[in-house]
A and B are shown apart, each in its own frame.
Chain A
């Protein structure tokens, strides 16, 4: 590697596109890996397959996005923790099924709204950071992820006392990681981030209300070091996740099967 994409220039148009593709590509890669951890553990076979399919969609996005930045394998397998630019929400451990569903609700709502805007900006020829083609394609796939998360949130929130309790706990615990999603990414000038955040909040609030869950009133940013994933600061469990994701490639460079 001759250039470190994490520190690529953010002043040239090329550098701007790289920074946005890296952030969104890392979101997709890391969440894909987290979802894949459910293989063999999901509560029922249909969910096992659903989570694996969502993970596969995200992996496909990651491959396209990271290829805009450099060599996809080098970026996925050979970067250190602090070179990753994913939002901290995506790296949070799966927890119980409710925690995974709430993470999906928060993230897929964000991704659908953001990709929709990037695709629209590309259609008008303004500031899509070179991501328009991918966004236009992926937004249709992500609509199914969001629908999946919403239906499960309703079922769990408005289900048994136990499922309600666990889902509310996840809603509260992950809330503080959601503010970071709306830090503007350089190069995506066609995106109105304040409006994106307002739309996200109203969409998530509507689902939580219907699910008889309480929208947390705590801050969505500002907790100690929460929400600095875009700057390369990550939470404790992320290092372990990377170790597992990278160890085979690092132990056997270039191995294929």
Chain B
């Protein structure tokens, strides 16, 4: 990992571009919202290296994300782009931005609850229905349309909904 050097204005611009790519499975979120772009470095003129971290180890979207980032940076005049996958430190749902959480809820997906450092008193907040706002919801299945989501149902409005699981 490159440390110690602050990103240049060009790197900041390229980071913004890479982060603007929509997530292939949840296109309401950008990769920046999801918190998966770790760094963008200019190695030499026209040569850029992007560090990307997967949400889940087996997430099949990572290849599409890499290809999309390459395309966006090519379009902005960077001829050589390498996207590498880094596992450490592990991605957490706490890396999803506040804006990302808002977009998820708006899209009908209950956002993950913040985890933060484990406090002395474990506090378990309920998961609210993204459709009617009720706190009375129940778990239907621990795994839903993708590994990162669980399937729940609202016991008030009866709508089933996805919940982005805490990781």
Which residues of A line the B interface, CB within 8 A?
A: 46-47, 49-50, 53-54, 56-61, 63-64, 132-134, 136-138, 140-141, 144, 147-148, 151
Residues in A with CB closer than 8 Å to B117 are: none
Q: Shortest CB–CB separation between residue B116 and chain A, in angstroms?
A: 15
**Given known contacts A58-B58, A60-B57, is B143 in contact with A137 (CB within 8 Å)?**
no
**Given A46-B140, A46-B151, A49-B141 in contact, is the A61-B58 Cβ separation under 8 Å?**
yes
- B58 / chain A contacts, CB cutoff of 8 Å: 56-61, 63
B59 at the interface (CB under 8 A from A): yes
Q: How far is the CB of B58 from chain A (nearest CB, A)?
A: 2
Contacts of B89 in A (CB 8 A): 136
Task: Report which B residues bind A (CB closer than 8 A).
Answer: 54, 56-60, 87-92, 140-147, 151, 165, 167
- A46-B151, A140-B92 given; name 7 further pairs at CB < 8 Å: A53-B146, A57-B56, A57-B57, A58-B58, A60-B54, A141-B56, A141-B147
B54, B56, B58 — which one has the most chain A CB atoms within 10 A of its CB?
Answer: B58
Q: Give the most central of B87, B141, B143, B151: most A CB within 10 Å.
A: B143
Task: Offer 5 A-B interface pairs, CB within 8 angstroms, sorted by A.
Answer: A57-B147, A60-B54, A133-B90, A136-B88, A144-B165
* Contact B147 A140, beta carbon cutoff 8 Å: no
Report whether over half of chain B's contact residues are helix, strand or loop; otherwise say mixed: loop
A147 to B54, CA, bound (A): 22
Min CB distance A26 to B, Å, is 16
- Whether A137 and B145, one on each chain, are in contact in the complex, defined by CB atoms closer than 8 angstroms, is no
With A56-B60, A144-B165 known to touch, is A50 a contact of B143 (CB < 8 Å)?
yes
B57 pairs with A137, CB closer than 8 A: yes
CB distance from A201 to the nearest CB of B (A): 25
Q: How far is the CA of A131 from the CA of B54 in the complex (A)?
A: 17
CA distance A144 to B165 in the complex (A): 10
Residues of A within 8 A of B146 (CB): 53
Min CB distance A11 to B, Å, is 27
Bound CA–CA A59/B60 (angstroms): 10
CB-defined contacts of A132 to chain B, threshold 8 Å: 88
A49 to B149, CA, bound (A): 11
Contact B57 A134 (CB under 8 A): yes
